[in-house]
Structure 1
Amino acid sequence: MGRVLRLVRIYLFFVSCFFIAVAIFLLLQLQSNRSVHMSSCATDCPANVAVIRASDEKHDADRRVAETAYDLLENMDVEGKDLLYVSTRNITRLKSICTALTDCSGFNSNGWLKTHTRTNIIPSNVNLYIKQHTTKHDIKHPVVSNNPNHHEFGGRFGLFASEYFHMMDNMKIYSYDVRIGAEMPDVHDYKYGVDQLFISLLKKSKFNTQDPVEATFYFMPTRCFAYRRSHKDRAVGGHIAAATVRDIVNWVKVSFPYWNASRGSDHVYICSHDMGGECSQLADHNLYKNAIGLFNTADYSEPWFVPHKDISLPHHPSHGENSLPVLGRLAREGAMERTNLAFFAGNLKRGRVRNTIYSLYAQDSYFHLVHGYLPDEAYYKFLSTSKFCLIVRGFRAWSPRLLDAIWFGCVPVIVADWYALPLQGLIDWRDIAVFVPEAQVSKLKTTLTSLSPHKLHQMQDEIRKVSKHLTWNDPPQPFDAFHSVLFQLWTRRHITRTI
């Protein structure tokens, strides 16, 4: 009898377990619009990481996704800092899950949700999505991993990435709605088009603010090139440009209190034409002395460029499909043999040093010097098959050939004394360019032939890394020319205002 009772108890125990399991199952099924279900972790996952499977059903987090913005870092990831793994590659679903989780600061395109997205950032074959609304786990000043691979940023960007993200979270720029000079139409030009592009990108960017009180900087959208080209005569056009800039500054001073609060020290203007800072010659002297200029013409020897405050622009606006950056990247990937030592195409009679180079090397088989215009196809071929590209001072120190060379992987040879190169400080140009003083062009061939194949390869590899920092995009991409210029501006933000 006792044996029968024990069997009955065992039977009832299992029956109870069965009904409890059924009840739990039904309760789980009744939870409305569940989007993720916990399952056991795969064998290659960390023990403390759960695996989540994303459901195909719509849920309330879709609404929150629309309200939460994410920054995209292409070919970047966070080393470690894993919160959960989600077995989906659907970015919309990953956003909805991350948005719903307080502890999620972002995710990568492989499905790993991250607790932190401001630390240990490294190059990767995945993309990183960073939640703009920071959580309690985000730190104010992020740092980059000590992993040496972070140098894939190019130049010194890996060292400054912490402050870069601080800028991304905090920088605000108020753009004055300038009507003065609006009747002068934009002029599209591959050399002087950066001012129009920058104005457009800033207006559409997250940095643009309608509240001048919260602004880090105040931007005067001067369209210097359009003003200059409003008249065919160079001198007359230059005077029109300077007068228009003067009128804009006067309007800002009279209409707003912000100029006088800092004597223009937190104000920014742009001129991508050759005249550069010379466009300020008729304006309030504080424009030249205090305001930050964004210029193509960045020459230490010229009085209108002040290197400690003004910024040398990545001066070539080419971007988009079939642009020079794209064609150059495709040419680099094609790995054409670089059989030519040095190449230059352009006016070899212009300026104080080009004619000397022409007379010394025009008949030298190591040099391909083309005086005058070269068709695009031939120009691209020489860029792709030359080891060095000569960047020689003409009327001004700067030249659009510099970025042509960078994009095609041709090592620039700078023959332009006192040229403040773009993004100096962020890019160490001695890692990617050869410098030959104007007075020593007779040693140009010796200098180039003495460079070892190993050193040349190192420079070409670094050029590949930094090229993205010198390239404009629409819309802008992380660490590109737009963000790099803004970052240099950000480092000049410590201004005391008196209202």
Structure 2
Amino acid sequence: MLTAGLEDSRPWLSKVMMSLPAAALEPPSVPAGGGGTATEQLHGARMPPLIYIYDMPPKFTSRMHQYKNVVEHCGYRRFRPGNRSELYADGYSVEVYFHKMLSVSPHRTFDPEEADFFYVPVYYTRWMWPVNGWADTPFYGAPTAWHRYSNAAHMWLQAKNWIQSNFPFWDRRGGRDHIWMTNHDEGACYMPTEIYRNSIMLTHWGRMVLNHTSNTAYFPDNYSSGVRWTGVLDGKDVKTLYDGHPCYDPHKDLVIPGFKPPEHYVNSPLLGSCPLQRNMLLYL
């Protein structure tokens, strides 16, 4: 985020510059006599609902940028020589993109006491790939890179425990006003129940079956197989963390799309482009 006018002295930043979010600006003064609506008086230029973003420790977010060994995955912007940048699509880019866009959104608040919701940024898809399996550390709840669902479940638990240890807001409503993004292949299917029970999930996987099983063909992600590790969960199967809840609850969760760059939507018939001529029916 850059202050207005900086692009004049540093023109190479103009294409990637974003304005400060309204939440970081001084609210407009309210005329004497209480002019404006109650919401305008309370929030100024900001737009309810107001969302507070936890400033998570680096091991949950920025350190994943450091550990990943390829550029093409789990990001949405690529910086090129000549001070150029370009957007690119990746199946898991929405995790970073949403965090960035929410950070400069008029819905953001820097005051957790006035927040309607709390967003918990955890780059777990970046951990699943390309960090896990290629880096020596960190590992969450498993001593190897295999059984990625075990690592992911324990990563979420560590994030929740950190929030509880440092803020009062989880316990205030039992996590019901907390938002998590679960955009890996099978979404929130193996989100620990103590988080999933009340929190809001942003997921692409609207699977509502209660007694669900993993659909993956990739063994490290098969959360139905379960795993026990010495010294972890007192030897209990990791499935005890997440068994018994659906992958998606329409009463509290939201299905969101993955990230696509603007060019994808420009070519859509819904925006005026010619309809696509399809002669095959296939869904993967």
* Residue correspondence of structure 1 range 375-414 to structure 2 within 5 A: 392=283, 394=284
Identify which of 253, 259, 271 aligns with 1:310: 253
Rounded Cα–Cα distance in structure 2 between residues aligned with 1:278 and 1:328: 31
Tell me: CA distance 1:300–1:279, structure 2 relative to 1, closer, same or farther (3 Å): closer
Superimposed CA distance per residue, residues 419-440 of structure 1 (whole angstroms, 9 cap, x where no aligned partner):
xxxxxxxxxxxxxxxxxxxxxx
TM-score (norm 1): 0.33
Pairwise CA distance, 1:307: 1.6
Instruction: Determine the structure 1 residue equivalent to 2:60.
Output: 181
How far 1:139 sits from its partner (Å)? Answer: 5.6
- The partner residue of 1:231 within 107, 132, 136 is 132
Question: What is residue 156 of structure 2 aligned with on the other side?
Answer: 245
From 266, 274, 278, give the equivalent of 1:326.
266
Note the 1:198-213 alignment, pairs <5 A: 198-213=98-113
Give how far 1:237 is off. Answer: 2.8
| 316 and 213 in structure 1: CA distance in 2 versus 1, 3 angstrom threshold | same
1:271 maps to which of 182, 192, 200: 182
Letter in 2 for 1:368: M
In structure 2, distance between residues paired with 1:264 and 1:271: 16
Instruction: Tell me the distance in 1 between the aligned counterparts of 2:250 and 2:100.
Output: 25
Q: Which blocks of at least 5 consecutive residues in structure 2 are unaligned? A: 1-20, 40-44, 69-73, 76-88, 134-143, 213-245
Q: Which structure's residues are more often helix, by fraction?
A: 1
1:9-57 per-residue CA deviation (whole Å, 9 max, x = no partner) reads: xxxxxxxxxxxxxxxxxxxxxxxxxxxxxxxxxxxxxxxxxxxxxxxxx
Q: Does 1:256 align with 2:167?
A: yes
Shift of 1:309: 0.5
What SS does the aligned partner of 2:179 have?
strand
- Paired with 1:304 and 1:319, the residues of 2 have a C-alpha distance of 27
Q: Secondary structure at the match of 1:169?
A: coil
Q: Structure 1's 332 and 204: CA in aligned 2 closer, same or farther, altered over 3 A?
A: closer
Tell me: higher relative CO, structure 1 or 2? Use CA pairs within 8 A at least 6 residues apart: 2
The 1:332/1:251 distance shift into structure 2, 3 A limit, reads closer
Q: Distance in 2 between matches of 1:307 and 1:288?
A: 13
Q: What residue in structure 2 maps to residue 192 of structure 1?
A: 92
**Is 1:278–1:304's contact at 8 Å kept on the other side of the alignment?**
yes
Whole-angstrom distance in 2 between the partners of 1:247 and 1:266: 18
**Residue 169 of structure 1: how far off its partner (Å):** 3.3
Letter in 2 for 1:317: F
CA distance in 2, matches of 1:337, 1:311: 29
Q: Distance in 1 between matches of 2:132 and 2:105?
A: 32
| Residues 1:317 and 1:337: Cα distance change in structure 2 (over 3 Å) | closer
1:299 is matched with which residue?
Answer: 207
Query: Structure 1 169/272 Cα, relative in aligned 2: closer, same or farther at 3 Å?
Result: same
Q: Number of paired residues?
A: 188
Largest Rg, 1 or 2: 1
Pair 268,137 (structure 1): closer, same or farther in 2 beyond 3 Å = same
The answer to whether the 8 Å contact 1:271/1:294 transfers is yes
CA 298–235 in structure 1, closer or farther in 2 if over 3 Å, else same: farther
User: Runs of at least 4 residues of structure 1 off by over 4 A?
Assistant: 131-141, 232-235
Per the normalisation by structure 2, the TM-score is 0.56
Gaps of 5+ in 1: 1-68, 71-130, 142-166, 344-366, 370-389, 395-499
Instruction: Label 1:133 to 1:316 Cα distance change in 2 as closer, same or farther (>3 A).
Output: farther
The offset of 1:269, in angstroms, is 0.8
**1:37-116 pair list within 5 angstroms:** none
Residues 469-497 of structure 1, C-alpha deviation per residue, up to 9 Å, x if partnerless? xxxxxxxxxxxxxxxxxxxxxxxxxxxxx
Contact 1:223–1:271 (CA under 8 A) maintained in structure 2: no
Task: Give, in angstroms, the shift of residue 275 of structure 1.
Answer: 2.8
Alpha-carbon separation, structure 2, partners of 1:133 and 1:326: 40
C-alpha RMSD of matched pairs (Å): 3.5
Q: How far does the alpha carbon of each residue in 1:323-377 deviate from its partner, in whole angstroms, 9 at most, with x for none? A: 2012326x9535x476x4xx3xxxxxxxxxxxxxxxxxxxxxxx425xxxxxxxx
